[in-house]
Structure 1
Amino acid sequence: MKKSLVAIAVLGAFSGIASAQSAVTVYGILDAGIVNERGGVAGSVTKLTSGVASASRLGFKGSEDLGGGLSANFLIESAVKVDTGETDAAGVFSRQAYVGLKSAAAGALTLGRQYTPLYNTVTQVADPFGAGYAGSAKNLLPTTGSNTRTSNTIVYTSPNFSGVTGELAYSLGEVANSNSAGRQIGAAIGYANGPLNVRLAYNNHNNDTATVKTNQIGTDTLLAANYDFGPVKGYLAFGRDKGTNSAALPNTTNPYGAPATALPTASTDSRDLLVGVAVPFGASTVLASYIRKDDRTVNNQDANQWAIGYIYALSKRTNLYSSYARISNKNGAGYTVGNNTEVGSGDKAFNLGMRHSF
């Protein structure tokens, strides 16, 4: 249940300053499931995992009306592990943390740790699994690490112009004597009207650091669309990944017992294809997708993923789910079947769990 609180009751703990006109919304997701993974070098494993469908979280967001159609907005969001009760080791509010201004006429400008336009495109447009469950597109598409969220980021989101929206993100590398090292730039433009939703996203990552100058740039381009036909919603996406840190990372912990010299490496030139469907009927929804990773390097380490899932809605906020996915790796590729929060250990995985939002 979403709960509105007077800002002085919550924000006072963080800033000591509040306005009677401001309100804070407390929200979250609790997700836990049984995961069975097969095909790893250590054998099969069954575990209870948090965040299979959606990462478990606790968040606070709010806004203040500044007048003239302008508002101040903020969001802070913490990762929660339902299976152990721990928070994310990366920090208390390591998921998202930003503050900004929003105008209906001019758009929104936010500063802080935020999702990349590329990741938003995968989760909101391209993937029927929403980057969750065993069928997550994150298993093969470049949407992990800095391609998911970036720190020190400035994001501008345009107003909606008859269904057309745009997004521009700039992440500062914060490296002394260099304005480009560690810098990341993202952009997206989309059109949503009626049953059609289409979006083109781009991500550019400079891989230089304070101590290592590689002059290597990783770029990702993704064109995605979905169309609601009524009884079936169809999904289609094409991607191009070029350069260092531009591809989904294979599991390099030797999941298939390969010699150390034959461990899989991340592709620096690949093409991605995703085809999927979502079929709702009553309280149920069936999901299915096929993803192909076409490695264009000399290693030719291709991979294909087939996935199917089932969701049963007990209410608007609570559902039960089950999913299964399998990856076929070629020429020593080592991609694994994970879920929303884990990379997985083998080439097959089955999930059975429950998700509740409030």
Structure 2
Amino acid sequence: MKKSLIAIAVLAATSSAAFAQSNVTIYGILDAGIVAERGGAAGSVSKVTSGAASASRIGFKGTEDLGGGLSAIFKLETGAKIDDGTLDATNTIFNREAYVGLSSKTAGTLTLGRQYTPYYETLRDVGDPFAMGYAGTAKNLFPVASFMTRNSNAVVYKTPNLEGFTGAVSYSLGEQNGDSSAARQVGASLGYNNGPLNVAVAYNMKNNDLAATSTAAAVNTGVGHNGLIAANYDFKVVKVFAAYSQDKGVGSAPINGAASATATTSAFGYAFAQSKDSTDALIGLTAPVSASGTVMASYIRKNDKEVANRDADQWAIGYNYALSKRTSTYVAYAKIKNKNGAGYTVGNNTEAGSGDKAFNLGLRHSF
């Protein structure tokens, strides 16, 4: 009897030790609200929607301590629509992120799978006071749609924090038979965050070529390049934001919500192709107005340098009120002024929008 009790105690202690070395977390965001869109060719629309401020999601992430400061890590995250309960990507479960890798406290992190681009993370975390959400999201005019948001088949390395400096390099394999450069994507970022100052630069290169197949000839479309600099500075009473992007080449300015990466029929009823030579500039701020409330505002200008000169300007303002550490309510409004046949729309974190004006009122809960 004593031997059995000792064996059970040893087994329990061993199991507890093994469990303590591993950690798996289930997390998510539930975001639902009312959205009113105005100015589109199809007319005004008001709806209950999901993910205006932050895309609704559920995810699983975990770590295993391998010893010596090295850990195995993984993440699986899927988007969901709170308004109707469906997935936000057809025939894809973990459409947001899906990766596995190794993390070292001294050597950095290496991950493989579907992941955010360094360009997107820089604009979201450093340059956009709306953090890519609400009606005022920088997604409406900056080139962060489609492959500029996330890459599949990506290998990403991120450095540890070195006296405030951090860096990231991303390489996404095109996986085209017979042509290793076709459809590949390369990104990188370098940032410095110390005290009130946060500044970063990012680069993205996308090869749009397609290799030849048994039924089709090779398609040589060209390469798109994007360079971004973003910064914010916290004056305590107000935090100011700025961002500037230069976009050159085919695919360098994908339109948010476009069915094609190169052209779309706009929400205003006419053909509207993306620019191959443009710049994007943003200035904005966030300001605490109480212990729980924050005002957000920004101005964005899209400068099309092609002959068509399809420029656009966006003004946006919003307010977020924290009911608790996990629950907040928000309101936001944005308006875009399109010029010379541009057809940019006011969307939000999840949707591209249907007109040149939009209003959001919603509730967000994280767990």
Q: Tell me, what secondary structure is at the counterpart of 2:245?
A: strand
Q: Tell me, what secondary structure is at the counterpart of 1:162?
A: coil
Distance 1:161 1:85 in 2: 43
Correspondence for 2:261: none
Q: Tell me, what secondary structure is at the counterpart of 2:121?
A: helix
Match of 2:248 among 242, 257, 270: 242
Deviation at 1:215, TM superposition (A): 4.5
Structure 1 unaligned runs (5+)? 1-18
Larger Rg: 2
Relative to 1, partners in 2 of residues 1:254 and 1:107: Cα closer, same or farther, differing over 3 Å? closer
Correspondence for 1:65: 65
Distance 1:339 1:42 in 2: 19
Correspondence for 1:225: 231
Q: Tell me, what secondary structure is at the counterpart of 2:333?
A: strand
Distance 2:39 2:254 in 1: 19
Deviation at 1:22, TM superposition (A): 1.1
Distance 2:49 2:119 in 1: 26
Whether 1:268 aligns to 2:276 is yes
Taking structure 2 as the reference length, what is the TM-score of the superposition?
0.90
Correspondence for 1:84: 84
Structure 2 unaligned runs (5+)? 1-17, 213-217, 259-263
Correspondence for 2:326: 317
Answer whether contact 2:34 2:46 (CA < 8 A) is retained: yes
Would you say how many aligned residue pairs link Structure 1 and Structure 2? Answer: 336
Cα deviation digits, residues 121-153 of structure 1 (max 9, x gap): 111000000001000000000111100011000
Deviation at 1:33, TM superposition (A): 1.1
Paired residues for 1:16-55 under 5 Å: 20=19, 21-55=21-55
Q: Tell me, what secondary structure is at the counterpart of 1:264?
A: strand
Paired residues for 1:297-308 under 5 Å: 297-308=306-317
Deviation at 1:90, TM superposition (A): 4.4
Correspondence for 2:196: 195
Answer whether contact 1:138 1:248 (CA < 8 A) is retained: no
Distance 1:164 1:217 in 2: 30
Relative to 1, partners in 2 of residues 1:95 and 1:325: Cα closer, same or farther, differing over 3 Å? same
Distance 2:23 2:68 in 1: 18
The one-letter code of the counterpart of 1:257 is G
Answer whether contact 1:156 1:167 (CA < 8 A) is retained: yes
Deviation at 1:253, TM superposition (A): 3.1
Match of 2:357 among 328, 348, 354: 348
Answer whether contact 1:223 1:237 (CA < 8 A) is retained: yes
Q: Once structures 1 and 2 are overlaid, which stretch shifts more, 97-106 or 207-216?
A: 207-216
Whether 1:335 aligns to 2:344 is yes
The one-letter code of the counterpart of 1:240 is Q
CA RMSD, Structure 1 to Structure 2 (Å): 1.1
Distance 2:191 2:53 in 1: 25
Whether 1:326 aligns to 2:332 is no
Match of 1:253 among 250, 265, 269: 265
Q: Tell me, what secondary structure is at the counterpart of 2:273?
A: coil
Distance 2:52 2:110 in 1: 31
Distance 2:255 2:168 in 1: 26
Correspondence for 2:99: 98
Identity of aligned residues (%): 60
Distance 1:80 1:256 in 2: 28
Answer whether contact 1:26 1:59 (CA < 8 A) is retained: yes
Cα deviation digits, residues 245-300 of structure 1 (max 9, x gap): 11141663342234xxxx21100000111000001122110000000000001110
Distance 1:278 1:248 in 2: 27
The one-letter code of the counterpart of 1:265 is A
Match of 1:277 among 276, 279, 285: 285
Q: Tell me, what secondary structure is at the counterpart of 2:272?
A: coil
Taking structure 1 as the reference length, what is the TM-score of the superposition?
0.92
Correspondence for 2:139: 138
Distance 1:58 1:164 in 2: 31
Q: Tell me, what secondary structure is at the counterpart of 2:250?
A: coil
